[in-house]
Amino acid sequence: MASLRIALGADHAGAAYKTLLIQDANAFGHETIDHGVAPGTERSEYPLVAAEVAAAVARKKADFGILICGTGIGMAIAANKVQGIRAANCGNELSATYARSHNDANVLTMGARIIGSDLALAIARAFLKEPFQGGRHLERLGLIPGALGS
Ligand code: RB5
């Protein structure tokens, strides 16, 4: 797999998983950019972290973003407000594979209160290695306002 630049972010609920995901991505030779809070932080605001990571991806400072909160839901809602961001909240590897191949998702979100850490690592690996199929799937993305940028 080609080396990627990945922006990772987490709130207090996802910080421990973020550390594991950074270590795993680095072990695969990817470059990582760390956003959000460190493990042990008592409170933080996921929309602010999501906006930072989404901006890094939208401005092409990163190839992909990975966002972890308690459920992955808030991060996905917030990231998808940014033009050009296609964030997918995934709880299994098959969803992550389709999120890439059919939806060209450029941000993966996961919930640390929903899935185990080993599964989160497997989901991230599946997401990062799967190519977009293009074709009719690209045409469909063009029908979603803001999905392909402004
Ligand atoms: C924080 O308690 C929690 O609401 C947040 O991590 C996330 O799950 C929001 O969607």
Q: Over the stretch 80-91, which tens digit does the pLDDT of each residue have?
A: 999 999 999 999
Residue 73 near ligand 1, beta carbon < 6 Å = yes
Q: How far apart are CA 139 and CA 74, in angstroms?
A: 27
At 13 the pLDDT is 98
Which residues have CB under 8 Å from 116's CB, separation 6+? none
5-141 to CATH, choices 1.10.490.10, 3.40.1400.10, 3.40.800.10, 3.20.20.370? 3.40.1400.10
At 15 the pLDDT is 98
The ligand 1 atom at the shortest distance from the C-alpha of residue 73 is 10
Query: Distance from CA of residue 146 to its chain's centroid?
Result: 18
Q: Are 5 and 106 in contact (CB under 8 A)?
A: no
At 41 the pLDDT is 95
* Mean of all residue pLDDT scores within the chain: 97
At 146 the pLDDT is 96
Q: Measuring from atom 9 of ligand 1, which residue has the nearest CA?
A: 74
Q: Measuring from atom 8 of ligand 1, which residue has the nearest CA?
A: 70
Q: Is the pLDDT of residue 125 over 90?
A: yes
- pTM of the predicted structure, to 2 decimals: 0.98
At 2 the pLDDT is 86
* DSSP-assigned letters across all residues of 78-134: HHTTSTT--EEE-SSHHHHHHHHHTT---EEEEETTTS-HHHHHHHHHHHHHPPP--
Q: Is the pLDDT of residue 1 over 90?
A: no
pLDDT per residue over 48-81, tens digit each?
999 999 999 999 999 999 999 999 999 999 999 9
Instruction: Give catalytic residues, as residue numbers.
Output: 69, 102
